[in-house]
Amino acid sequence: MSNFGQILEKIGEFGLFQKRLVAALCIPIVFAAFDVIGQVFTGLSFPHHCNTDWILKLGPNLTEERRKNLTLPVNKAGKYESCEMFSPVDLDLEIIEAYGINTTTGCINGWDFEAPKGASSIVTEFNLVCDRSTLIEASQSIYMAGLLIGALVLGQMADRFGRRFVVLLSLLLLLVFGVGAGFSPNIYVYIVLKFVCGFSVSGIILNSSVIGGEWSDSSKFALCTIICHSTFSLGLMLLCGIAYLIPNWRILQLVLYSPLVVVLGIFYWILPESARWLITQGRKEEAIKEVRRAARVNGREVLEDLLDKLDDEGASKRGSMLDIFRISYLRKRAIIMSYVWSGTNLVYFGLILNVGSFGLDIYLTQFVFAFVEFPACLGSLPLIQHFGRKICLAGFLLFAGAACLGTLVIPKDLPVVVTIIAVVAACAATASLAIIYVYTAELYPTTLRQNGVGLNSMCASVAGILAPLIRLLDVYHYTIPMLIYGIVSIVAGGTCLLLPETLNVELQDHADLLKPENGPQTRSFNEEEKSEKSTKM
C-alpha cells in the first residue's frame, strides 16, 4: 500500500469529506449535460415552406390555404414543397388562378415556419433549412471538435497545473460562452461560441469524477466515478423539462447557464485539490494542508509520522502525453482504449442526437432516454464490482451494437418499436460510458492519468464529430447510419477484451514499474500482467 493509501486509511477512505466532495462534483456534470445535448432543443426544426407574401400584393384577401395553393408546388406525397415555390410573376390574380404558374425557384424570400406561439430555435432564426440545413450537423460536429481539443489541452493541463484549476477554468468558460451563445447574431458566431463550450465541457467531465476518486480508496474509485456520471442523466431529464417550459432558445440559453455564476463562486472556496496529485508533484505542504482538512471534516486525526512519510514518495518527473507512448504497456492500453472510447461515443451520440428521427415527440423521447440511462449507469456499478470492468464493458458494447442492428429489421411504420429498441441500445451505451471512465482512469498512473484519459477522450470526440455526419448518409439508404453504429460498437466490445482487468487493483501513482504486493486486494497492474500473459499490456 502506498503512503497516501495509509493516510487515507487513517483519515477515512470514504468519509463525510469524500461523500460531500463527490456530491458537489455532481453539479458541474449536470451543466455539462445541458451543453452536450442542448442543441437537440435549441436546434429544433419545425414544418416550413417558402415565404410567398409576394402574391398578397395581387390579392391581399387571399386565405392562407389559397395562397399556398397558388404559390407552392406539391410533391409526390401530396404535400406542399418545403424548399421550392412558384416563381413570382407580374400577372393579374385572375390569370394566375386560371392558368397557374409553370416555373419554380428556391425560397428567394425566406421561409415561413409553422412553430408554436413563442417558440423559436436556431433553425427558425438563422433559416437552417433546405440548402442550409447541413449547418445543423456541422454545428454539432464542430462542437464535438471542441470536446476533442478540450480533451487534448485540458487533460494535459490537469496533470501539469492540477485538477482544481482545470475544473474552475472550465466552469468559467462554460458560463461566459454558454450565456454568450444566447446572444449570437448569426449561426457562425453561435458555432464558434459552442465550440468553446465543448472545449470547457471536456475539462469538467474528465476532472470532476477524478478528483473524488483520487481522494478515496481504490475500492471506492468506481463508486465516485459512476455517481458523478450518473448525474449526467439527471441533467438530461432536467433539460427536457426546462426546454419544454421555455420554447424560446435564447431565453433557454440564459436560464441553463446563468446559475453557473453561483456554482463557480462556491467551488472557488470549497473545491480541494487532489492530495494524491499534489504528492506526485512534490508539493508536500499543500498536500498536508488538504489532508488535515479532510481529516477534520471526517472527525479523524492523522499521525504526523505518516505525513512525514510523504517525503519518501517524493516528486515524480512531470509526465506528458508522450510518456504514454514511450512506455510499452501504457502505449498498448492507450491504443486499445482509444478505439473502445471511439466506438462507445459513436453509438451513444449517434442515438442520443438522433431522437427526433424516431417518429415520436422529441421531449418525451429524450426524457425516456434520460430516464432509463440513470438506472443503467448506476446499475453498472454492482456488475463491474462483481464481474470486473473488462467483461462488463465488452458485454454492454456488444449488446448496444446488436440492438442498433436490430432496429434495421423493424418496419419503418412501427416507430414505437424502433424507439424502444433504440432506448435499449442507449441504455447499454450509457452503461459502457460509465464503465469506461472508471476503467480508463484505473489503467493509467496518477502522474499520467489525465493525459491518458484526455488522449482517449480526444479519440472519442473524433467519433462524436463523425456521429452527426454519419446520419447524413441516410440519403443513400436509411440503414447505413445504424449499420455503422452497430458494427463499430460490436468491434469495440471485442477489442476491449485485450485489456487487463483492474478490479481490486490498487491505483498506480507513478509510471515506473511497481513491486508486487501480497494479496489480491493490493496487487499492482504489473504483477497482474506478468501473471496473465494473455492480458499483458
Q: Is 122 in contact with 44 (CB distance < 8 Å)?
A: no
CB 439 within 8 A of CB 318: no
Give the β-pairing of 111-113 and 104-105: unpaired
Can you read off the three cell numbers belonging to residue 228? 458523478
Length of the chain: 537
Q: How far apart are CA 203 and CA 211, in angstroms?
A: 12
Contact 232, 25 (CB under 8 A): no
Dihedral sign of CA atoms 510, 515, 520, 521 in order: negative
pLDDT confidence of residue 534: 38
Give CA–CA dist 528/508, Å, rounded.
13
pLDDT of amino acid 358? 52
Q: Answer yes or no: are the C-beta atoms of 235 and 29 closer than 8 Å.
A: yes
Output the CA–CA distances (angstroms, integers) from residue 329 to 322, 343, 442, in the order listed: 13, 22, 14
DSSP 355: G
Q: Which amino acid is at 109?
A: N
Q: What's the confidence (pLDDT) of residue 281?
A: 82
Give the 3-state secondary structure of residue 50. strand
List Cβ neighbours of 414 (8 Å cut-off, separation of 6 or more).
Answer: none
Longest CA–CA span in the chain (Å) reads 100
Which amino acid, residue 74?
V
Determine whether 265 is exposed, middle or buried from the number of CB atoms within 10 Å of its CB (0-12, 13-18, 19+). Answer: exposed
DSSP three-state, residue 357: helix
Give the three-state DSSP class for 297: helix
Instruction: Supply the pLDDT for residue 531.
Output: 43
What pLDDT score does 530 carry? 42
Q: Which portions of the chain are predicted below pLDDT 70?
A: 1-3, 303, 305-320, 353-360, 507, 509-537
Query: Is residue 441 within 8 Å of residue 451, measured between CB atoms?
Result: no
Q: Three-state secondary structure along 192-254?
A: HHHHHHHHHHHHHHHHHHHHHHHCCCHHHHHHHHHHHHHHHHHHHHHHHHHHHHCCEHHHHHH
Would you state the pLDDT for residue 519? 38
User: Quick one: which H or E segment has residue 49?
Assistant: strand 48-50
Q: State residue 248 phi and psi, 5-degree precision.
A: -85, 120
Listed residue (196, 252, 190, 156) closest to 447, CA to CA? 156
How far is it, in rounded angstroms, from Cα 205 to Cα 460? 13
Q: How far is CA 406 from CA 181, 213, 368, 424, in A?
A: 38, 37, 19, 11
Integer CA distances (angstroms), 496 to 210, 254, 335, 490, in order? 22, 41, 11, 10
Q: Is 79 left (phi over 0), alpha (psi -120 to 50) or beta?
A: beta
Could you tell me where the beta strands, DSSP code E, fall in 70-128? 85-86, 104-105, 111-113
Cα–Cα distances (Å) from 119 to 42, 62, 182, 467, 514, in that order, read 10, 26, 15, 27, 60
User: From the CA atom positions of the chain, what is the Rg in Å?
Assistant: 27
Q: Which residues of 365-400 are buried (b: 16+ CB within 10 A; e: fewer)?
A: bbbbbbbbbbebbbebbebbeeeebbbbbbbbbbbb
pLDDT of 235: 92
Torsion of CA 409, 411, 414, 420, to 10 degrees: 10
Residue 317: predicted pLDDT? 55
DSSP-derived letter for residue 111 is E
What is the rounded CA–CA span in Å between residue 306 and residue 410?
Answer: 63
No. of H helices and E strands in the chain? Answer: 24, 4
pLDDT of residue 320: 66
Indicate yes or no: pTM above 0.75. Answer: yes
As given in the structure block, the three cell numbers for residue 412 are 419503418
Q: Which helix (DSSP H) or strand (DSSP E) does residue 48 occupy? A: strand 48-50
